């Protein structure tokens, strides 16, 4: 019998900014940025001889920045480690256990075992249950195995929560050239979205490398949102506003969601799975989607509410 997929918790992942852990100035600026999540990168953006220094930077940063007081408040914090086979990954994972971020991002995932071995390690170390795992989907094998990896994330004890697509590595390994519209990559991207949708995970679209080309970024964000991605991985603060706009609820969608919620809250709809909303038949499954959208809008509003504290 197929195990039912549990409902996803609603998290804001419209804009996921990658920050090199070696760059102290970039770390200092994070508090003033309006991104939903930050990936502290110990992998690609840090030279081998700088790995230890980058880990110490993160240790100092986390010591000065207390974690958010509740789920949905503040920025989600993710540490991208090096692969466990690299010679650096074991020390990175020990740092994750010490700092207890919201999630650890695993690079170069090929198969389900790459995730389960880290889940087991976190469990053995008694890491908090809400310390989740994100997986980089950036190799040909990870695309081929996307559904199996996502399915493994639904097994008891698994911490898998989100996929992040890495097209730079995928292009390098396949020879697909970077082109506007990503026509030759769309089938692979949709395979990732299908896998996470089947097993209750999120998927974050790949980085857009030319952070000065806002027109092309705008088009790619619109494309990613249409595909069903939860947000976009970013490499520069200037990309945050566009990602937030495209992957967040717009006024029309929010108004429709509120109308759907109100229609099902009407006593006349009690026990009904389908209601008539302005001449359109709306099912109860649309109610679930509407509630998630309204909750996401509420999280955005709460984060932008003026602080009553100093500083």
> Measured in whole angstroms, how far is the alpha carbon of residue 277 from the centre of its chain?
33
Q: Clarify whether residues 46 and 187 are in a common domain.
A: yes
Q: Is residue 7 part of a domain?
A: no
- H or E stretch covering 198: helix 186-198
* DSSP code at position 93: H
Q: Which domain, by its residues, includes 21?
A: 15-247
Dihedral through CA 206, CA 210, CA 212, CA 214, nearest 10?
A: -50
Q: Is residue 151 part of a domain?
A: yes
CA-based R_g, the chain, Å: 20
Note down pLDDT in tens along the chain; length 311 residues.
333 344 456 789 999 999 999 999 999 999 999 999 999 999 999 999 999 999 999 999 999 876 554 443 479 999 999 999 999 999 999 999 999 999 999 999 999 999 999 999 999 999 999 999 999 999 999 999 999 999 988 888 889 999 999 999 999 999 999 999 999 999 999 999 999 999 999 999 999 999 899 999 999 999 999 999 999 999 999 999 999 999 998 888 888 889 999 989 888 888 888 888 888 888 888 888 888 888 888 888 887 665 544 43
**CA dihedral sign, ordered 13, 19, 20, 22:** negative
Q: Are 27 and 21 in contact (CB under 8 A)?
A: yes
Q: Clarify whether residues 91 and 199 are in a common domain.
A: yes
Q: Are 35 and 12 in contact (CB under 8 A)?
A: no
Residue 36 to residue 240: CA distance in whole angstroms: 9
pTM: 0.88
Q: What is the CATH number of the domain that holds 63?
A: 3.20.20.60
Residue 262 Cα distances to 181, 265, 273, angstroms: 38, 5, 14
């Amino acid at each position: 019998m197929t195990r039912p997929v549990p409902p996803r918790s609603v998290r804001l992942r419209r804009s996921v900014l990658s920050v090199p852990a070696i760059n102290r100035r970039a770390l200092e600026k994070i508090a003033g940025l309006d991104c939903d999540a930050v990936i502290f990168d110990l992998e690609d953006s840090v030279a081998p001889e700088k790995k230890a220094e980058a880990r110490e930077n993160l240790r100092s940063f986390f010591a000065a920045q207390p974690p958010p007081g509740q789920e949905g408040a503040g920025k989600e914090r993710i540490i991208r480690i090096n692969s466990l086979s690299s010679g650096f990954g074991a020390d990175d994972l020990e740092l994750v256990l010490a700092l207890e971020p919201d999630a650890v991002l695993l690079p170069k995932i090929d198969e389900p075992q790459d995730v389960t071995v880290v889940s087991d390690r976190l469990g053995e170390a008694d890491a908090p249950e809400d310390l989740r795992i994100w997986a980089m989907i950036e190799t040909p094998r990870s695309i081929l195995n996307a559904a199996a990896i996502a399915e493994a994330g639904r097994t008891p004890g698994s911490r898998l929560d989100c996929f992040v697509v890495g097209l730079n590595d995928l292009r390098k390994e396949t020879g697909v050239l970077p082109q506007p519209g990503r026509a030759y990559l769309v089938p692979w991207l949709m395979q990732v979205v299908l896998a996470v949708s089947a097993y209750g995970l999120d998927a974050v679209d790949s980085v857009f490398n030319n952070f000065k080309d806002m027109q092309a970024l705008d088009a790619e964000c619109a494309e990613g949102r249409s595909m069903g991605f939860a947000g976009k991985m970013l490499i520069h603060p200037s990309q945050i506003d566009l990602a937030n706009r495209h992957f967040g609820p717009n006024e029309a969608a929010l108004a429709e969601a509120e109308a759907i919620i109100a229609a099902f809250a009407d006593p006349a709809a009690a026990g009904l799975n389908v209601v008539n909303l302005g001449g359109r038949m709306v099912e109860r499954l649309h109610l679930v989607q509407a509630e998630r959208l309204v909750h996401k809008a509420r999280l955005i509003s709460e984060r932008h509410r003026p602080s009553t504290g100093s500083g």
